[in-house]
Structure 1
Amino acid sequence: MSTSILSGLLGTKVTVDLWPLPITGPAFETWEITEKIDEEMCAMHEIESNNGTRPAYVLGTFRCRSTDDNDDGKKLGIMKVYKQIPFVGTELHDYEYRKQQAVEPYEPTELIALKALKRRRCVVVPELLGYRITKQDAMEIVPRGCLMYIVWKQVPGKPLTQEAFWQAPLAERNEIRSRFRHTYQQLVEYEPSIGDIRKIIYDWITGEMHICGFWDAELLDGYATWDDYLFVQFDLVSGSKSDERYFNITASDTYHDEKGWRW
């Protein structure tokens, strides 16, 4: 199987259902894919699939723009694509074998979380705009396998990177940490279960911050509670010297606290 499943999608137009539904009934919006951001393979062996009910899939993130006439191409969004792929070792099996792996389309955890966060008017998470739950064509990699699209509003800034964060001066790093603490505590009903600095969208000019990456979300009982270990989980603090080998720390003004954490 090619290392890139979701290639050649630039220019593709995808029509999604608006969410929430307007009071007038179902409504739709068409988005054109303009740029690929990344692609992640969520591979799985058949034995891990819970008797075929859990699919292996590829997860792609793209920039897109609305093609609706009244938007004039100025309404920008981020599109997440979930596409079922064959189980490990069956990629070259015949059509019928791969077709038997097809799973009915479903609402991914990320979509469920984004719906809940929008209902609760959580402003620190990009706003869900629409989604489409469908099936692959008969000649696709998993014939009639599940295929889901989620579109949310593009927000100012870019995902943080370890390189950019750990070369910034201490005062700026501390400002980002402070904003992250404030932002994280505004999450309600759902939070990311796996920390990653790239889930923090930050505008270096205005200081505006959002949190994304709810494909692995965990349900909350109310609002998120804060723990300083979240700094470590999201790579904003190095929790041990062994962790530092994965960071590209170039700042000269770091320090260690009494726990051995590097700030």
Structure 2
Amino acid sequence: MDALSFLPNPIVFSDGSSYELQNPITDFRQCHGTEPAESRILYRCRHTNPPTSPASQPFILKLKVQISDTTTSNPSVPQPGPSPTTSHELDALRLFADAQTPAGPNLVAFENFPQPAEGLLPGGYVNCTVMSVLPGKSLFELGYWSLEEEEREEVREAFGQALSAVRELGVEPGDKGLRNVMWDAESERCGLVDFELWEPFSPEMEVGRTEELQKWGLAHKPPAKNWWAEFGIHTC
């Protein structure tokens, strides 16, 4: 049985708008180190109320569901939500939306509601965050280190512009890695995703270009003892 079969599709928000879940972008998996315990999945979605044409630009819907904490013998207590990581990300997405920046996802809509009796943790929260889609693919998916050096340099220049744009809005990304850098070769632009972990930016955080690129895995590919260690550098 599908773990999320209790969810309606489309999902109707409290303002009457609705979003149809389309193809999943990730699998449904537990988030590590969160309190309360939760699992998440990302979908492509489309706005169905008001009706939109099939060709309308899709959105991303991040779905988070409170689950039972299997690391403790105490029964999990349903929480009203939203989760702390969701609240933190919403703060960044609202900043991006207010500025209409293409450097990060813009918040489109948000809904928080309790799980029904047939849910994974009845009464626990369900968070639905709808955001804009950044063009291109992640550098991890594209195989950044397999690109020609000329294109890698184009990526690095575009990345610097995206990071500066995000920092100008007072946001310092916390989850740095190739998987969170989007590259659109057609427009030659980068964008940054996943802002569950971020902190207010201050000029003291700035480091030299080479060191910054190294932090994100964009320069001086870190040596690894084996392929598994190399994989872990960009996925942990």
TM-score greater than 0.5 by the shorter chain: yes
Say which is worse superposed, 140-149 or 236-245, in terms of deviation: 236-245
TM-score (norm 2): 0.80
Report the equivalent of 1:56: 37
Amino acid at match of 2:102: V
SS of the equivalent of 1:83 reads strand
How far 1:238 moved relative to its partner?
A: 3.7
Q: What is the percentage of aligned positions where both structures have the same residue?
A: 20
Amino acid at match of 2:63: V
Q: Does residue 66 of structure 1 match 2:55?
A: no
1:80-99 mapped onto 2 (5 Å cutoff): 80-89=62-71, 98=75
Report the equivalent of 2:163: 184
Task: Give me the whole-angstrom Cα distance separating, in 2, the residues matched to 1:227 and 1:6.
Answer: 45
Q: Which runs of 5+ in 2 are unaligned?
A: 232-236
Report the equivalent of 1:150: 129
Report the equivalent of 1:242: 224
Task: Give me the whole-angstrom Cα distance separating, in 2, the residues matched to 1:191 and 1:38.
Answer: 25
Report the equivalent of 2:110: 131
Cα pair 1:105 1:147 within 8 Å, conserved: yes
Q: Which runs of 5+ in 1 are unaligned?
A: 18-26, 249-263
SS of the equivalent of 2:103 reads coil
Report the equivalent of 1:22: none
TM-score (norm 1): 0.73
Cα pair 2:23 2:43 within 8 Å, conserved: yes
How far 1:132 moved relative to its partner?
A: 0.3
Cα pair 2:65 2:125 within 8 Å, conserved: yes
The count of residues paired between Structure 1 and Structure 2 equals: 222
How far 1:209 moved relative to its partner?
A: 1.9
Whose helix proportion is higher, 1 or 2? 2
Cα pair 2:62 2:128 within 8 Å, conserved: yes
Q: Does residue 233 of structure 1 match 2:215?
A: yes
Task: Give me the whole-angstrom Cα distance separating, in 1, the residues matched to 2:196 and 2:40.
Answer: 9
Report the equivalent of 1:14: 11
Amino acid at match of 2:80: E
Report the equivalent of 2:87: 108
Rate the CA distance shift 1:5–1:176 in 2: closer, same or farther, 3 A.
Answer: farther
Amino acid at match of 2:25: I
Task: Work out which of the residue numbers 175, 179, 185 in structure 2 matches 1:194.
Answer: 175
SS of the equivalent of 2:153 reads helix
Rate the CA distance shift 1:160–1:7 in 2: closer, same or farther, 3 A.
Answer: farther
How far 1:183 moved relative to its partner?
A: 1.0
How far 1:233 moved relative to its partner?
A: 2.5
Instruction: Provide, for residues 231-261 of structure 1, a one-character-per-residue CA deviation record: whole Å limited to 9, x for no partner.
Output: 222221245323884448xxxxxxxxxxxxx
SS of the equivalent of 2:188 reads coil
Report the equivalent of 1:253: none
Report the equivalent of 1:36: 24
Rate the CA distance shift 1:222–1:130 in 2: closer, same or farther, 3 A.
Answer: farther
Cα pair 1:59 1:83 within 8 Å, conserved: yes
Task: Give me the whole-angstrom Cα distance separating, in 1, the residues matched to 2:133 and 2:205.
Answer: 23
Cα pair 1:181 1:226 within 8 Å, conserved: no
Task: Give me the whole-angstrom Cα distance separating, in 1, the residues matched to 2:170 and 2:12.
Answer: 28
